[in-house]
Copies of this chain bind each other. A is one copy, B any other.
């Protein structure tokens, strides 16, 4: 029996949340879950419809993109996951979808502005939209450089991936991450809902102001700060 059985199951269940949460159709999207002790991660096989996906189809890959276990080809986006895991040592899962509103903001090449407390409950900044990749990135090791484009964006904007667990890649779509694969998927769903709320907000009032600092701080702190009082423990 595979020593990665539990990791595959975690990855499988997180992937199956994508269609359940209306974040993907057909074979779009992929989720991975990492095992830091083994320095490997589990990821969806490429191009398999969610209806057909089984836990044993999940592929195990290391951070240099070598196949460790599995009979199927891993997601074509595997190198992006590998790069992010190698650079951000504290994340446990990554999700990539083609969710409608998130993709629309990415195609519009616009950050999703922080307009309300629903947003501040999750992060204190606009959801960043990384610029479309330069041609030399695209024509080189594309999926690897996709990860680099995301890190470049966070460096340029001076934001931390620990506080902002989601990003839009210009002209492409959303990536998110978290302590676990399930949390990465949660962040994808939240980003999609924030993108939908922000879209409607601007349609109703194109001059809608960003959330005031006191509310940003209050809502983020009550959920994530030292003296957080949201949730159980």
Contact = CB atoms under 8 A, between A and B. Distances in A.
A125 interface: no
Interface string A161-205: 000000000011100000000000010011001001111111111
Contacts of A204: 104-105, 108, 110, 199, 202
B173 A208 contact: no
Contacts of A115: 107, 171
B189 A117 contact: no
B72 A232 contact: yes
A215 interface: yes
A172 B116 contact: yes
Interface in A99-143: 100-101, 103-110, 115-118, 132-133, 135, 138-139, 142
B232 A45 contact: yes
A222 B75 CA distance: 12
Interface in A201-233: 201-205, 208-209, 211-212, 214-215, 218, 222-223, 229-232
A103 B118 contact: yes
**Among the interface residues A28, A116, A118, A142, which one has the most CB atoms of the partner chain B within 10 A?**
A116
Contacts of A197: 100, 103-104, 107
A215 B171 contact: yes
Given A103-B116, A116-B103, A138 B203 contact: no
Interface string A73-115: 1001000000000000000000000101101111111100001
Interface of A: 25-28, 45-48, 72-73, 76, 98, 100-101, 103-110, 115-118, 132-133, 135, 138-139, 142, 171-173, 186, 189-190, 193, 196-205, 208-209, 211-212, 214-215, 218, 222-223, 229-232
